[in-house]
Structure 1
């Protein structure tokens, strides 16, 4: 038997307030954190975990859905404070998490800076500095698509590239729940692609959503937007169709 807790925290990013939802999975042996917020999020994560009678020190494993500022910003600090936490990431994300390769998001931001209007450049430059400041962390376990992790009732790794090449979602068969990361977001009462204009490969991101139709999903946890508990299959099909119509493709 395992429990799923949303560590919903409010943050300010670029002068705007937003909410993100790292996830804690808990059973008799393990406490598994999925993603860990922006840099300097540890105090807010600790407070959110405390609402469920847990602490960051009780975490045994930390699964990284992908290398992006708002998902791994506090990873190095968490690992330094609690070195017993085992960090898990997809094989294609490991070089970026460990700092062996430069962040793809950083490369993307740098490559588009010159084309921005002058009034937007200061904000973009600040974003670039934030991306560059993210500290690397050692990955203790590398996973791949279809791998079944034995913790918290069973966790299946679902490779959902597009937003990032090594992006993963997590399927919990016991509760028919998908922890989506940024494979999809829940905004304005419906599911959507996360920041489609900034997806590294938008067509691949849509194909990843299509792959989710193979899973018996009754509810989705979105990092941006929290719970979606409607007709998951119908909503995923609507999302896929909306993007394929724009591109002239057929599902």
Structure 2
């Protein structure tokens, strides 16, 4: 069993950026954690192939939360690889499947009302990005403490960034995949984008929660792998 981070390079506002989806290998079966923005499928496929694995062996996709940089290519993956099991928290699954209006969209629309003229165009663009996301049905809904992936992974509820955000704890590897519950910044773990957290207090509590698990490796979606 192992975890591989997949550095995905892209350009935004003429600047080079990276995200770090994770690939989990358990008993030769592959699980991808988060799918990047829309149209990132080929970028992620390429990184998986670079590491010597065939995407046809992809069994699961786990979504940590419903933000466009995490679920953007989920629909494309499910279309191309229909056998994949999609896993998400009970709460986030309602937004991913389109059953409920996404929290992030509600937040973005509320923020738009008070945006400066400089920011309003970006705000409108971001709202449209969220509205363009295609709903995907969740095959397996999980909750805090659930054990998945042949009992190697424990689901850890880490609300704050969004209400149903989850992280993934691998006791045998002493590793955590944090999603946006933590990011690597200046050689330390901090909460991601506190200005956009739906509940900063809960986000801070969730960061303490995953730090208290005493892992040695934290796989952060933004910033990359952090090793104590």
Question: Scaled by the length of structure 2, what TM-score is found?
Answer: 0.96
Query: d(CA) in 2 for partners of 1:28 and 1:162?
Result: 33
Q: 1:25 offset after TM fit, Å?
A: 0.7
Alignment correspondent of 1:140: 139
Alignment correspondent of 2:206: 208
1:75 aligns with 2:112: no
Alignment correspondent of 1:93: 92
Deviations along 1:105-150, one digit per CA (max 9) or x if unpaired, are 1111111112111111111111111111111101000100011113
Alignment correspondent of 1:196: 194
**Structure 1 stretch 93-102 or stretch 15-24: which is displaced more?**
15-24
1:87·1:140 contact (CA, 8 Å) conserved in 2?
A: yes
2:182·2:189 contact (CA, 8 Å) conserved in 1?
A: yes
Q: 1:29 offset after TM fit, Å?
A: 4.0
Q: 1:5 offset after TM fit, Å?
A: 1.1
1:96·1:103 contact (CA, 8 Å) conserved in 2?
A: yes
1:23·1:34 contact (CA, 8 Å) conserved in 2?
A: yes
Deviations along 1:71-112, one digit per CA (max 9) or x if unpaired, are 010001100110100000001111101011111111111111
SS at match of 1:209: helix
**Structure 1 stretch 177-186 or stretch 101-110: which is displaced more?**
101-110
Alignment correspondent of 2:125: 126
- Counterparts in 2 of 1:13 and 1:104: CA distance versus 1, 3 Å: farther
- What aligned pairs does 1:214-229 form with structure 2 within 5 A after superposition? 214-229=212-227
Query: d(CA) in 2 for partners of 1:110 and 1:14?
Result: 22
1:45·1:56 contact (CA, 8 Å) conserved in 2?
A: no
Query: d(CA) in 2 for partners of 1:213 and 1:192?
Result: 10
Query: d(CA) in 1 for partners of 2:90 and 2:111?
Result: 27
Q: 1:215 offset after TM fit, Å?
A: 1.4
Query: d(CA) in 1 for partners of 2:204 and 2:106?
Result: 22
Alignment correspondent of 2:112: 113
Query: d(CA) in 2 for partners of 1:63 and 1:204?
Result: 22
Q: Which has the higher strand share?
A: 2
2:3·2:22 contact (CA, 8 Å) conserved in 1?
A: yes
Deviating above 2 A after TM superposition, structure 1's stretches of 4 or more consecutive aligned residues are: 12-17
SS at match of 1:207: helix
Alignment correspondent of 1:84: 83
Q: 1:14 offset after TM fit, Å?
A: 4.1
Mark the runs of 5 or more structure 2 residues left unpaired by the alignment.
Answer: none
**Structure 1 stretch 115-124 or stretch 14-23: which is displaced more?**
14-23
Question: Scaled by the length of structure 1, what TM-score is found?
Answer: 0.88
Provide the alpha-carbon RMSD of the alignment.
1.3
Number of corresponding residues: 228
SS at match of 1:120: helix
Larger Cα-atom Rg: 1
